[in-house]
Structure 1
Amino acid sequence: MATRTRAQRDAITVEIGYALLSAAVLAGVAFAAVTAPVYLLVSSPAVNRVMLMAGCSLAGAVYVLRVVHVLWRYKGAPGTQPSQPGRTSPDS
């Protein structure tokens, strides 16, 4: 296993932080979207409980999927950067 430079470790740390923060925001939005009717409409306690459980389940799924998506597409390994600064690929 190759050792990583300080810049590569910092880049990975920033990417993980971004993944966790953006996942938390999206999960909160998903939870709010599902549970908003609970607070806006008068309904039975059973319906409220189901809506809250659905909101929690959706928020958890969105959180996990977002973290996996962001970290999966991250290509921070050596050799993935263009060989010329400002170019999109080595043969540009």
Structure 2
Amino acid sequence: MTVEIVFALVTGVVLAAGVFAVAVALVSAFGVPDPVRKDVLVGGALLGAAAGVWRLVRVLRRFDRQRRLGR
């Protein structure tokens, strides 16, 4: 079970970082003004955190479902 928890954490962090990286890339590519830049980065961080938590829960629930079925 420890392997599944670590897998869920690592993939959640990678997904969160990827979502935040997209926000940073958009801000950098389009030269967004400073007040909007902060909002976009905060939004990217929030979306990244939500995506990471979603991935973590999804992986752990899938593992639990398979464990209950005896697979």
Which of 56, 67, 70 is matched with 1:76 structurally?
67
Which of 27, 37, 40 is matched with 2:29 structurally?
40
Structure-2-length-normalised TM-score? 0.86
Q: Which has the higher contact order (CA 8 A, sep 6+)?
A: 2
Determine what percentage of the aligned residue pairs are the same residue: 35
User: Which ranges of structure 1 fall in alignment gaps of 5 or more residues?
Assistant: 1-11, 82-92
CA RMSD in angstroms comes to 1.4
- Of structures 1 and 2, the larger Rg is shown by 1
Which portions of structure 1, spanning 4 or more consecutive aligned residues, are displaced by more than 6 angstroms? Answer: none
Count of matched residue pairs: 69
Structure-1-length-normalised TM-score? 0.68
User: Which ranges of structure 2 fall in alignment gaps of 5 or more residues?
Assistant: none
